[in-house]
Amino acid sequence: MGAGHHHQIYRAGDTLVHRLPPQCKLAAVAAFALVVVATPREWFWAFGLYALLLAAVAVAARVPALSVLRRMVIEIPFVVFAVALPFIGFGERVSLLGLSLSAEGLWSAWNILAKATLGVVASVLLASTTEPRLMLLGAQRLRLPPLLVQIAMFMLRYLDVIVDEMRRMRVARESRGFTARDVRHIPVVARSAGALFIRSYERGERVHLAMLSRGYSGSMPIIQDLSASARQWLVAGMLPGAALVALLGTWGLAL
């Protein structure tokens, strides 16, 4: 959470991954994330395989490593937390590089770092290869409640408009010599927030009127039909499928 991450991750392209129907990609990435989180932290091989799988997807989608790395910045607070774990964790201590570290803490740090990183990379790859509106249509096909999808659609459509208005208010404040530095300045910023809410709400009303004027009667009309073939589901399923195979394989080896 924080400023600046509202820039779209989507990168246009025409690769196999880009062409997969969105519902397949959504389901595949969610399933993959689940397999990753369910993996016991001791099974290093499994994690290595997961990383390779994601690399393969990145190559297939022609997403440059740099753009993925840039979006991983979002992870930093938890990286800091994970790094601190061996120092503040309880339990048996081991000696590593002359430092007394918690064994449990080390394991836990690895656990969080590995799973969080794999999760973020998978999300970034999904967002890089799927247009936002297609993502919403895919979610709808996966039975996400239509009202929720519609709310998300309007939100995405007007996000830039609202954020721009907020930015303009900040410019107006700063042009008059104001910068928020401490708690006393909160009320000024909050007043802009109030004005922004009114503007957003009134815009929502005008949008509703525009919809009424074009015949809207309460439910959104179906404009585009998105269906996936069995073959496309199979292709998308390769990611979580391979991850599952890796998981079970490592389990088999461990036995």
> Is the CB of 14 or the CB of 205 nearer to another protein?
205
Whole-number Cα distances in Å, 96 to 41, 82, 86, 87, 108: 19, 17, 10, 11, 16
> Is the CB of 181 or the CB of 231 nearer to another protein?
181
> Is the CB of 16 or the CB of 193 nearer to another protein?
193
Least Å from the CB of residue 126 to another protein: 7
Please report, as a single letter, which amino acid is at residue 251. Answer: W
Q: Compute φ and ψ for 4, nearest 5 degrees.
A: 90, -15
Within 39-145, residue ranges assigned H as helices are: 44-60, 65-71, 76-88, 103-129, 132-141
Please tell me whether residue 21 binds another protein under the rule CB under 8 A.
Answer: no
Quick note: the x/- pattern for another protein over 208-237, rule CB under 8 A, is xxxxxxxxxxx-xxxxx-------------
Please tell me whether residue 13 binds another protein under the rule CB under 8 A.
Answer: no
* Segments of the chain assigned E as strands: 93-96, 99-102
For 193, the token pair is: 């927030």
> Is the CB of 126 or the CB of 230 nearer to another protein?
126
Please tell me whether residue 2 binds another protein under the rule CB under 8 A.
Answer: yes
Please report, as a single letter, which amino acid is at residue 36. Answer: V
Please tell me whether residue 45 binds another protein under the rule CB under 8 A.
Answer: no
| Span near another protein by CB under 8 A; candidates 49-57, 131-139, 228-236, 246-254 | 131-139
Least Å from the CB of residue 98 to another protein: 16
- With a CB cutoff of 8 Å and minimum separation 6, the contacts of 178 are 185, 188
What's the CA dihedral at 159, 162, 166, 168 to 10 degrees?
110
CA atoms within 13 A on the CB side of 213: 6
| Span near another protein by CB under 8 A; candidates 23-31, 55-63, 235-243, 246-254 | 23-31
Least Å from the CB of residue 27 to another protein: 11
> Is the CB of 230 or the CB of 239 nearer to another protein?
239
Residues 192 and 173: their CA atoms lie apart, in Å, by 9
Q: Which residues in 143-182 contact another protein (CB under 8 A)?
A: 145, 147-148, 150-163, 166, 180-182
Please tell me whether residue 202 binds another protein under the rule CB under 8 A.
Answer: yes
> Is the CB of 97 or the CB of 230 nearer to another protein?
97
